[in-house]
Amino acid sequence: MKKIVAYAVLILLLSACGLKDLRSKKLIADGLSEQNVEKGKTILKNVVTQQNLKKLEDYGVYTLIAKDEWYKQYGMNMNPWPGENGVLLEIQSAFNTFDSRVKWLEGPMKSDIYGIQSWQAYHIPNNEDIKKITDKKIEFIIPTMQYFIELPYRLMNAPIISYMGEENWNGNDYQRVFVSWDSPEPNHNDQYILYINPETNRVERTTYTIRDNFMWTPKNFYGTAVYSDFKEIEGIELPHKMEVFPFDDTDGKIVHRFTIEQVELGNFDKNILYPFNDLTVIGDAKVD
């Protein structure tokens, strides 16, 4: 009960604040310098090169066999997935888009499929007829999970990229790269800080704002994703574990753990992700 009250007080305090700004004090004071912009872009391109993420373009599509286990924190259940928590899923995606579908491989919803095509959600219940649906949770979680798996590649061409200095976190030294859109100042777009291990050229941690969520959150809310268990598949390095925390990961209050058990590249016909002929192809663009 005390934890719930403490969280309620925290929410009230955050609600009174403006949009969360992830920029360091130095970046706020100095603004974007040509030197830091070029350094940030170079570091991010090195990550994409190290993980060989551009090779995913050759395959076009990929499949993840994974589990996404959610945990209650502060007395709240934030799990957006329907059905049983943490069951095995088959996630099929078109690279560098927001077009994916998820099939339940076990549990009460076995064989059910939820998907997103051009930001239109749909449901195929246990091999029955497909139907368009409106579901804020599905519209949030499916594109978000794909985006975070492809994150370095997706952010590489963002209009605002800047090196933001180094930081030691949990005993590890990281290069920080700030990424956003429209302006470095807080706006309706999200901000990201990528923490890159200079020894491996991997993004091992990212802190990000959440401007658009399926559930109400205060404007000052943000989260952190920690990547680990990197494995190579056909020359492409992908993290096989992603742990997500509210705010920073200092208190260990994990919200969900996404674990990949298997990756297959180019193993299905891309057309299955586009069942509706009346929808315009949007690709990696977002809709208002």
What pLDDT was estimated at residue 14? 46
In a domain, residue 8? The reply is no
Question: The whole model's pTM is what?
Answer: 0.91
In a domain, residue 6? The reply is no
In a domain, residue 171? The reply is yes
Instruction: Give 276's strand partners.
Output: none
What pLDDT was estimated at residue 165? 97
CB 273, CB 119: distance < 8 Å: no
What pLDDT was estimated at residue 9? 44
In a domain, residue 234? The reply is yes
CATH number for 93 = 2.50.20.10
Q: 44 lies in which domain range?
A: 22-273
What pLDDT was estimated at residue 214? 55
CB 43, CB 36: distance < 8 Å: no
The residue among 138, 151, 14, 161 whose CA lies nearest residue 82 is 138
In a domain, residue 37? The reply is yes
Number of domains in the chain: 1
In a domain, residue 283? The reply is no
The residue among 114, 98, 33, 68 whose CA lies nearest residue 279 is 98
In a domain, residue 280? The reply is no
What pLDDT was estimated at residue 109? 97
Find tokens 């994409």 and name the residue: 48
The residue among 229, 260, 222 whose CA lies nearest residue 244 is 222
What pLDDT was estimated at residue 213? 59
What pLDDT was estimated at residue 288? 65
Per-residue pLDDT tens over the stretch 27-52: 999 999 999 999 999 999 999 999 99
In a domain, residue 180? The reply is yes
What pLDDT was estimated at residue 75? 76
The residue among 52, 50, 64, 123 whose CA lies nearest residue 92 is 64
Low-confidence residues of the chain, pLDDT below 70? 1-17, 213-217, 288
What pLDDT was estimated at residue 16? 46
CB 55, CB 187: distance < 8 Å: no
